[in-house]
Amino acid sequence: MTELEVKNLYKIFGSNPNEARKLAEEGVPKDKILKETGNTIGVNNVSFKVEKGETFVVMGLSGSGKSTLIRCLNRLQDPTFGEVHVNGRNIVTLNKQELRDLRRTKMSMVFQNFGLFPHRSVRRNVDYGLEIQGIGMEERKKRAYEALKLVGLEGYEEMKTTELSGGMQQRVGLARALVLDPDILLMDEAFSALDPLIKRNMQDELLELQEKVKKTIVFITHDLDEALKLGDRIAVMYEGSVVQIGTPEEILTEPANDYVRDFVENVDRTKVLTAESIMKKPLAVVDSREGPKAAIRRMEKEEISSIYVVDKSRILQGVVDIEDAKRLADKGVKSLKSILKSDYDTTALDTRIIDLLPLASRTNYPIAVIDDKQRLMGVIVRVSVISGISREGVDNDA
């Protein structure tokens, strides 16, 4: 279900936006448009959809237009042209009261600089939006305590915000947004002012929090590693335009242009790419209803020494070795059940390559990649993990 949709959005600063848009549509560079018209293109014909519960990361360097874009999403800055739909309603057409209601109930924002009130306690900072809505003190207190517990600040409710560390202050800002129970959470460089260690901790906590609350999040960052870690999908911006939208794996493995390619060049891909990206389809498998002769024939054809056994629904049953199968065949046994082994390793489709390294170092068989129904989806051989990302030149020695 689409919760947020942006259609042909422009933000143009200056007195002649129509001429600037016309030049932008003709592909004239941003700096030349400024020189010719005196107008600055902040956001240039951007369109995308964000699904309910998705973390959509907008990434780009300084001046790429990402912060201008997020401010257009809740009309802290009014778009010059285009539409922003929240649950199917174009918010560009809202009047001031309707816009205030939207910000109070549908969308909340977490800023880079926290924006806390130093004279208020932690709780009173969190319940500020509820106070503006006219909600009573006891209800405000209850909901503020719940939000603070959610972000790990239980016990700090009545302290002053000035007594908290930077990371804790950012948690207060996050709780203040969450207490309104918005459908959409906008986060503008929310962690960039934090020290690296605290920043990593906050990223981990946001991932854990998202597992619980499942909000629709638009997250702005200039940090590629942060984008790859947090994003279900990533939009890469350059000079006001979105040049690519894709999953972290798609951004890494299929960069749309030289700008994106240069951006991702030095990323440690083993921390991002998953088992699904390096697995091979399990072409050499045997049905549990078949016997040792069928297993032997398949292994000899594929020149492998072991084979995975699945049932008719492709649910993994075990693995058999060719020598064991030959012994059974010599005895005239027609079932593989007695030689099924379970001393193999399995992993999920979304396991990161870096987390597969311990398995690859000890396994005697290809790692079996299974889905949540225990169906065999693929196999990964040791060399695929060690090489990290490449499928080329990898022989399936299953």
Give per-residue pLDDT as tens, 169-215: 989 999 999 999 999 999 999 888 788 888 888 898 899 899 989 99
Residues 102 and 227 in one domain: yes
Note the Cα 252 to chain centre separation in Å: 13
Same domain, 102 and 216: yes
Number of domains in the chain: 2
Residue 80 φ/ψ, nearest 5 degrees: -80, -45
331 occurs within a structural domain: yes
Query: What is the per-residue DSSP string for 17-35?
Result: HHHHHHHHHTT--HHHHHH
Give the whole-angstrom CA distance, residue 366 versus residue 275. 12
Among 142, 203, 145, which Cα is nearest to 170's?
Answer: 203
Average pLDDT over the chain reads 90
For residues 20-28, give the mean pLDDT: 95
- Domain assignment of residue 142, yes or no: no
Residue 228 CA to residue 203 CA, distance in Å, equals 11
CATH value at residue 329: 3.10.580.10
Whether 98 and 225 map to the same domain: the answer is yes
The answer for residues whose C-beta is within 8 angstroms of residue 265's C-beta and 6 or more apart is none
Find the domain containing 314 and state its range: 275-387
- The answer on 378 and 314 residing in a single domain is yes
CATH of the domain at 58: 3.40.50.300
Distance CA 283, CA 62 (A): 47
Model confidence at 386, pLDDT cuts 50, 70, 90, reads: low
Q: State the pLDDT at residue 387.
A: 60
Same domain? For 257 and 283 the reply is: no
Among 267, 290, 305, the domain boundary falls at 267
Please report the DSSP string for 26-59 in residue order.
Answer: TT--HHHHHHHHS-EEEEEEEEEEEETT-EEEEE
Q: Which tokens sit at 22? A: 């016309």
Residue linked to tokens 């088992």: 275
Report pLDDT for 359. Answer: 85
- Lowest mean pLDDT of 14-28, 89-103, 196-210, 267-281, name the range: 267-281
% pLDDT > 90, the chain:
67
CB-count exposure of residue 75 (10 Å: 0-12, 13-18, 19+): middle
